[in-house]
Amino acid sequence: MFIFIDEYLLMEQKFAICRVAIAPLRAAASDKAEITTQLLFGDTVEILERSEPWYRIRNHYDAYEGWLDFKQLSGITAEEYNNYSNTAYLVPAGINNSLTAPDGSHYYLAASSSLPGYANGYCSIGNTAYKLGFEAQATPEPFSEIRKLALFFLNAPYLWGGRTLFGVDCSGFVQAVFKLLGIALKRDASQQAEQGEVVNFLPEVREGDVAFFDNAEGRIIHVGIMLSNNEIIHASGRVRIDPMDDQGIYNHELGRYSHQLRIIKRFI
C-alpha cells in the first residue's frame, strides 16, 4: 500500500513522478495562479525549487516548468527518473482507462499518460504496483493512426493549459495526439512551430501535417492537425473540424476566418 511517508522523502530528492491522474501546473506558487499546463500520471519531473507546499518543477517530456503541490508527486531516484522517463508504454485513446491500486482504489487516467515500469498488466511507481484495467499501448503507433487518435478528442471542451479529453487547449491536443504516435512535441504552439520540416504549399499537405497560425503581430498563437489539404481538426472552443485554405481556418458558425495561416510543418 502507498503510504505518505514518501512525502518526507520527497523533500530530500531531486526527481519525482506524478502519482495522480491529472495535476495542474501553475505559473506561480498559489492555488489562485494561472494553470499553464497539466502533468499526467507517470510524468517524471526534476525538482527545481521548493516553497512548501509548492514545488517548481521541470517536466522531463517537454521541459515545461511550473509550480504544483508536492503532495501530487512521489519521490524517485535518479535511476528511476531515467528509466521511467523512457517508458515505452502509454495509456491508449479510450474512455475506460482505469488503474487499481493495492488498496483497491481506482485511478482514471487520461489518454497519453505514461505507464512507468509496465510489465504483465501492471505499472509501478517505486514499490507500489497498479493493475491495468485496459491494454497498454506500445509506442510508436503506425502514423496511419493519426486520424483515429485525433478524432478521439473530437468535441472535447477547450481549456487553457489542458491536456485531456475533459479539457484541452490547441497545443495540448496536438502534443497528446503525437505522443500517442511516439513523437515528442513541445508544449506551446510557438515551440512546436520550431520543430518539424516545412511544407511549402497547401496542395502538398498530407494527413497528419500540422498547421500554425499567427496574430497581427506575427506571433504564433494557434495550432491544429490537418486531416487533408482543405480540412483541419483543432481546439477552439472545443475540438472541432473546420475547412481550411491559404488564408486560414474558416468558421461557418462565425461566418468568417477565425485563424490566419502562418506555416505548415511535417513531423514524419
Residue numbers annotated as active site: 170, 222, 234
Overall size of the chain counted in residues:
268
* Radius of gyration of the chain measured on its C-alpha atoms: 19
Beta bridge pairs of residue 131: 100, 122
List alpha helices for 109-210, DSSP H. Answer: 146-152, 170-180, 189-192
The whole-angstrom separation of Cα 195 and Cα 191 is 7
**Which cell numbers in the block locate residue 29?**
506558487
The whole-angstrom separation of Cα 93 and Cα 64 is 23
The whole-angstrom separation of Cα 183 and Cα 268 is 9
**Which cell numbers in the block locate residue 79?**
535511476
Q: Which residues of 115-152 are buried (b: 16+ CB within 10 A; e: fewer)?
A: bbbbeeeebebbebbbebeeebbebbbeeebbeebbeb
CB distance 264 to 211 below 8 Å: yes
